[in-house]
């Protein structure tokens, strides 16, 4: 096993809630509440869950667009958790981000050539013909023509703008790309093109993807491992095939059962989850999911289940899935 290019240990990101004229802090929104995982070169780890579970906050914290409240972020063997903007600068080229909205994430005042070339100017001091040559090669790598360098973002379609975002992310040859819902704003036919492009780029450059999505169909196509999040925590982490074949956490089971399937004759056992997601400002005691879980027992209401390995490379946070005790020696 190769060493992880990204290690995340008990990552926490809380946002203070302030009220009153004097702006007193009256609580904390626990957007990310102890997330741990690792990511290896050439691997796609998909982070899934319903809106508001903290997926995007994890991604933005990892690339240091937000400072973590606690925990550790180790990038290519270097602990970057508490680095300020100046100290973080040389490490930013190792981790890049592709955003959900392919238009809002591009500067409308810059041409495509300037958008992709800006990282090359800042980090590799490229200019003139050398920069233009590399920008043209990057655009062609993502399926855009070199002539597109002179166009502005509004002159591209949504799929082309996302390709432009990929070219910008690739400019510095990062080890990790955080893709935050990169195809959710695109038409279905264009989604497939962009996903296949990302998979081709991963194979060519041995990229590691943290792929954030709520679309299980896309996740099933591109992912190697899947981490299911609920209310700021990972509740199940497993290989894709194992998770889709038999989810172990009730929330993961409900997500997969609710996903549409291509064959209308196929049937899935439906696990009905009632009630609303609790507030991340005041999460339930014990297991955060117990207020909506049909399998909850008294222990779930008072004891918080840790994320533990119940089978090789299979991690679950559920009292009903405790690993079997080793057999006593005879």
What local confidence, expressed as pLDDT, does residue 262 receive?
63
Q: Strand 225-230 to strand 44-48: parallel, antiparallel, or no bridges (unpaired)?
A: parallel
> What residues contact residue 247 under an 8 Å CB cut-off, 6+ apart?
228, 236, 253, 255, 256
> What residues contact residue 325 under an 8 Å CB cut-off, 6+ apart?
none
Per-residue pLDDT tens over the stretch 201-241: 999 999 999 999 988 889 999 999 999 999 999 999 999 99
Has this prediction a pTM greater than 0.85? yes
What's the token pair of residue 12? Answer: 């926490």
How far is Cα 263 from Cα 267, in angstroms, rounded to an integer?
9
What is the Cβ-side half-sphere exposure of residue 96, based on CA atoms within 13 angstroms?
Answer: 17
How far is Cα 260 from Cα 195, in angstroms, rounded to an integer?
19
How far is Cα 266 from Cα 273, in angstroms, rounded to an integer?
21
Q: How confident is the model at residue 329 (pLDDT cuts 50, 70, 90)?
A: very low
Torsion of CA 166, 170, 176, 178, to 10 degrees: -20
Q: In the CATH scheme, what architecture does the domain 6-19+26-94+206-321 have? A: 3-Layer(aba) Sandwich (3.40)
> What residues contact residue 246 under an 8 Å CB cut-off, 6+ apart?
none
pLDDT over 70 percentage in the chain:
94
Q: How far is CA 286 from the centre of its chain?
A: 26
What's the token pair of residue 183? Answer: 């195809």
């Amino acid at each position: 096993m190769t060493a992880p290019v990204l290690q995340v240990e008990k990552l926490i990101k809380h946002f203070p809630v302030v009220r009153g004229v004097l702006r007193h802090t009256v609580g904390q929104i626990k957007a990310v509440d102890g997330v741990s995982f690792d990511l290896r070169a050439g691997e796609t780890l998909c982070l899934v869950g319903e809106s508001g579970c903290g997926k995007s906050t994890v991604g933005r914290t990892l690339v240091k667009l937000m400072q973590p409240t606690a925990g550790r972020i180790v990038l290519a063997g270097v602990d970057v958790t508490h680095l300020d903007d100046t100290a973080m600068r040389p490490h930013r080229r190792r981790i890049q981000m592709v955003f959900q909205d392919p238009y809002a994430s591009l500067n409308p005042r810059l041409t495509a050539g300037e958008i992709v070339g800006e990282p090359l100017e800042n980090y590799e001091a490229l200019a003139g013909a050398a920069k233009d040559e590399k920008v043209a090669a990057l655009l062609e790598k993502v399926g855009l023509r070199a002539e597109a360098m002179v166009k502005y973002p509004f002159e591209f379609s949504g799929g082309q703008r996302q390709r432009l975002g990929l070219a910008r992310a690739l400019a510095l040859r990062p080890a990790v790309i955080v893709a935050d819902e990169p195809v959710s704003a695109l038409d279905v036919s264009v989604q497939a093109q962009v996903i296949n492009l990302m998979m081709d780029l991963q194979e060519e450059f041995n990229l590691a993807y943290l792929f954030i999505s709520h679309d299980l169909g896309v996740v099933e196509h591109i992912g190697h491992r899947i981490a299911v999040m609920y209310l700021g925590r990972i509740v199940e982490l497993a290989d894709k095939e194992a998770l889709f074949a038999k989810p172990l956490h009730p929330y993961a089971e409900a997500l997969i059962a609710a996903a549409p399937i291509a064959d209308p004759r196929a049937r899935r056992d439906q696990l009905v989850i009632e009630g609303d997601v609790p507030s991340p400002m005041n999460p339930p005691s014990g297991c955060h999911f117990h207020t909506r879980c049909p399998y909850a027992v008294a222990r779930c209401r008072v004891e918080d289940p840790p994320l533990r390995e119940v089978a090789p490379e299979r991690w679950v946070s559920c009292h009903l899935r405790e690993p079997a005790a080793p057999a006593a020696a005879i």
